[in-house]
Chain A
Amino acid sequence: MTNNKDKTLGETLRSQGISRRSFLKYCAATASMMALSPAMIPKIAHALESARRPSVIWLSFQECTGCTESLTRAHTATIESLIFDAISLDYHHTLQAASGHAAEEAREAAMKENFGKYLLVVDGSIPMDNPGYSTIAGISNYDMLMESAKGAAAIIAVGTCATYGGIPHANPNPTGAVSVGDLIKDKPIINVPGCPPIPVVITGVLTHFLTFGTIPELDHIGRPKVFYGQSIHDRCYRRPFYDKGLFAETFDDEGAKKGWCLYKLGCKGPTTYNACATTKWNDGTSWPIEAGHPCLGCSEPDFWDGGGFYKSLSMPTENIAQTAVYAAAGAVAAGVALGAMNKSKKNSAAKAHNKTTIDDLEK
């Protein structure tokens, strides 16, 4: 039996019983999802078939494992998850059997063997306040990231914590959490935000990397444009209700039952770029807005600090009524003081006024 690592992706998939037909279906779906021309399908198939399983090192820092859950807990074994299985995942705390020194050795060996070629996947943010907040085998997250990044061909930051700091970075950010992009400037970084990100998005990014050997086209905050190019709002099936001005006012009123727009319930869809509205979740079963809940905006930076999930986008985030009352109270006092000053000025001007008499005119 050939060493697992020497097998091509095609061989691995065939050994797991994936038919050529379903493999090509996956290639076609990936091409259409990434807005590539149909002419690219054979190219993708060929590239994937002949690709050596790339070494992937997965680092988990300040995170909740939700991103890993999202990728591995697919309903059924999907071809996407098999593609994911078919990479050589040489280090992943949660998934690997080894622990302690053995685990760290595996990481070091993979880094050495594939220097300059391995993919580094990171989920979780990095605490910069005190390295002791999060360590692995006594190594601080910062040290481990910097060391592992050196030989990486590219870095994929998975989840909003790794891409933009996420929940650990939320106000008041007790651990001084930062994102991967805040620390590493000299490597290509693909940001795959979401809390968690959609599984098919990460396999799509991997497929792109395997097919073209390059990173996909990114937007201004490092997200692959094919998945994050359009906002939730622009692809939302409830958009016609927004355009007509038909909104659910509460979670159980007539509007909610009729499936009207959730803008008034705090939906962040208008300012959120993600693929939920088109790829959906759980094998295309549904997604938050279809389930009747407003979008939280989880693939955007600082989504936790946006003034509340149920506060609609047009509402101010501070207590403006209280601000206005204080401002008014202060202004009334200032206005009265200014009025009094004006009045005394007027009175003294009146007093200083010399009346012109007939005598004056005769002078």
Chain B
Amino acid sequence: MNEIEFLSWVRGQGFQIAVIIFIAGVIIRFAEILLLGRKANIAEAKGSEMSGGMRTIVSRSFPDKNTFQRSTFTVVAGYIFHIGLFVTIFLFAPHILMFKDVIGFGWPSLPTPIVDAMAVVTIIALLAVLTHRMRDTVLKFITTKEDYLVWMLTILPLITGYMAFHRIGMTAPTLLAIHILSVELLLVVFPFTKLMHAFTFALSRWYNGAISGYRGVQS
């Protein structure tokens, strides 16, 4: 397989396989969660489940003062790499072209140098959280192999994308193909690891908020 064939495969069949596993995996996991159901709560409702749930989906995005003071680094670095991922994935012009081709519509992009800088910042933030994870005794104790795998699969597309954009080290078709392949790997493992939080965060936050809302307490 030459480099152009490799590129054609990751843009064609490889991408198809990754999308099938990603979409099917996410839907099946959602179906399993939602169809499991909950026992009816026979206690008298003292507030609204819906408003408590919805409010918590939003409010949990902002750390309370205590949490912020206790884990300033985790919160700040976490914010940086999540925003960085959003910018690099969704606001880079070539990526938007890909989304437009798949879902039929696009949106405006950010100037390329801004996305480029964000990619570097995101890579640094991810390296920092890994260092923190490995140096903190408690964090290290509760870290599983899956955590390392997920970290690796998240930073790989950033590094390969940066290399492909700046054309470092290998020929351009190979770099682009490796970048696309790294994203496909991420898509394949996504539904079966904690990466699913990108979708399920809303469900779990809503549920936490709804319990409090039903009881009429602050969530």
Contacts and interface: CB of A to CB of B under 8 A. Distances in A.
Q: Is the interface of A mostly helix, strand, loop or mixed?
A: helix
B53 to A, nearest CB: 22
Given A271-B176, A300-B4, A317-B11, 16 more contacts: A242-B112, A245-B113, A271-B172, A300-B173, A302-B4, A315-B98, A318-B12, A318-B16, A320-B102, A324-B19, A324-B102, A327-B24, A328-B27, A334-B24, A334-B31, A342-B35
A232 B20 CA distance: 34
Contacts of A331: 23-28, 31
B172 A343 contact: no
B150 to A, nearest CB: 22
Interface in A301-326: 301-303, 305-307, 311-318, 320-321, 323-324, 326
Nearest to A312: B97
Interface in A234-282: 234, 242-245, 247, 263-264, 270-271, 273
B37 interface: yes
B219 to A, nearest CB: 27
28 contacts: A221-B2, A234-B167, A244-B112, A244-B113, A245-B111, A245-B115, A271-B7, A271-B172, A300-B173, A302-B4, A306-B4, A307-B11, A312-B97, A315-B98, A316-B15, A316-B102, A321-B103, A323-B16, A323-B20, A327-B24, A330-B24, A331-B31, A335-B31, A336-B31, A338-B31, A338-B32, A342-B35, A343-B37
Contact of A270 (B8, B13, B103, B172): B172
Interface residues of A, number: 49
Nearest to A220: B171
A168 to B, nearest CB: 17
A233 interface: yes
B1 to A, nearest CB: 10
A306 B32 contact: no
A308 to B, nearest CB: 11
A317 B4 CA distance: 13
Interface of B: 2, 4-5, 7-8, 11-13, 15-16, 19-20, 23-28, 30-32, 34-37, 93-95, 97-98, 101-104, 109-113, 115, 167, 171-173, 176
Query: Sorted from nearest, which 3 A-B pairs have the closest CB atoms?
Result: A335-B31, A339-B35, A314-B94
A83 to B, nearest CB: 31
A233 B172 contact: yes
Contacts of A316: 11-12, 15-16, 98, 101-102
A312 B94 contact: yes
A98 interface: no
A321 B102 CA distance: 5
Nearest to A233: B172
A117 interface: no
A346 interface: yes
Contacts of A300: 4, 173
A88 interface: no
A327 B35 contact: no
A331 B168 CA distance: 40
A192 B183 CA distance: 34
A305 B8 contact: yes
A340 interface: yes
A314 B112 contact: no
Nearest to A316: B15
A302 B12 contact: no
Nearest to B20: A327
Given A234-B167, A324-B102, A327-B20, A264 B8 contact: no
B5 A302 contact: yes
Nearest to A305: B8
B7 to A, nearest CB: 7
A302 B8 contact: yes
Contact of B5 (A301, A328, A335): A301
Nearest to A343: B35
A31 B145 CA distance: 57
A313 B23 CA distance: 23
Contact of A314 (B20, B36, B95): B95
Contacts of B27: 328, 331-332, 335
A231 interface: yes
Q: Which of B5, B31, B103 has the most CB of A within 10 A?
A: B31
A335 B16 contact: no
B94 to A, nearest CB: 4
Contacts of A264: 93, 97
Contacts of A313: 11, 94, 176
A339 B32 contact: yes
Contacts of B94: 263, 312-314
Contacts of A336: 31, 35
B28 A245 contact: no
Contacts of B31: 331-332, 334-336, 338-339
Given A233-B172, A314-B95, A320-B19, A271 B4 contact: yes
A318 B13 CA distance: 7
